[in-house]
């Protein structure tokens, strides 16, 4: 996933259709994913993985060069949400691709990660480098099960495909809000940092 420094515009809220708009800020984003799984001991006493329950995303945000007024706006909106699950959306969507093996001629599942705020753009045969046939056209995506139902059937089961989608944001819980002046304490310019922990 993307990491780096971006000038971006955010929205947050408890649902996709009720989002609070926040200002343009220079933002450093770091994304990491951690497996949550159950383990058991083998006869030899070694630990082994029993089942993967999910992959959880932890996204660190560091908002830079904020005025006091913008800092207060971000703090107020983040604290107003509290410990509820929220949608956190970047106005500038990121294009992302996954290579998957289809479940059948009409079913493809994307990687199981924390809830993502995405829209599917297309599914192609991995060998179709010119992207001529988009098998997703007319299809649907179920975000609860990460399942894509294709609008056009693939030529065969268990086919290698590439899935392209727009990654618009995340669903998670805000953690560890911190802020500090940039440079001198009386500079009037601040940084705000927090983590969004996926569920």
Write the pLDDT tens digit of every residue in 157-174: 999 999 998 877 777 888
What was the pLDDT predicted at 58? Answer: 74
Write the pLDDT tens digit of every residue in 63-89: 888 888 888 888 887 777 767 777 777
Enclosing domain of residue 143? 4-198
Residue-wise burial string across 130-165, b where 16 or more C-beta atoms lie within 10 A, e elsewhere = eeeebbbeebebeeeebebebeeebeeeebebbbbb
What was the pLDDT predicted at 36? Answer: 63
Mean pLDDT of 100-113: 87
In the structure, what pLDDT confidence band is assigned to residue 1 with cuts at 50, 70 and 90? Answer: very low
pLDDT at 137 over 80: yes
Q: How far apart are CA 81 and CA 88, in angstroms?
A: 11
How many structural domains does the chain have? 1
Residue 179 exposure: Cα atoms within 13 Å on the Cβ side: 20
- ∠ CA(73), CA(191), CA(198), 5° rounding? 75
How many other β-carbons are positioned within 10 Å of the β-carbon of residue 178? 10
């Amino acid at each position: 996933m993307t990491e780096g420094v971006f000038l971006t515009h955010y929205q947050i809220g408890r649902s996709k259709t009720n989002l609070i708009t926040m200002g343009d800020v220079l933002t450093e984003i770091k994304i990491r994913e951690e497996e949550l799984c159950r383990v058991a001991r083998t006869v030899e006493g070694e630990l082994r993985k029993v089942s993967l329950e999910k992959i959880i995303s932890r996204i660190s945000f560091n908002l830079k060069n904020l005025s006091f007024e913008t800092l207060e706006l971000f703090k107020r909106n983040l604290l107003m949400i509290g410990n509820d699950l929220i949608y956190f959306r970047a106005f500038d969507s990121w294009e992302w691709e996954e290579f998957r093996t289809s479940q059948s001629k009409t079913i493809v599942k994307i990687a199981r990660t924390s809830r993502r705020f995405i829209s599917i753009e297309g599914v192609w045969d991995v060998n179709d480098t010119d992207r001529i046939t988009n098998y997703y056209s007319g299809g649907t995506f179920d975000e609860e099960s990460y399942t894509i139902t294709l609008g056009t059937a693939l030529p065969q089961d268990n086919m290698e495909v590439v899935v392209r989608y727009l990654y618009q944001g995340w669903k998670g819980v805000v953690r560890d809000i911190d802020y500090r002046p940039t440079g001198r304490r009386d500079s009037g310019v601040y940084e705000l940092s927090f983590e969004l922990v996926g569920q």
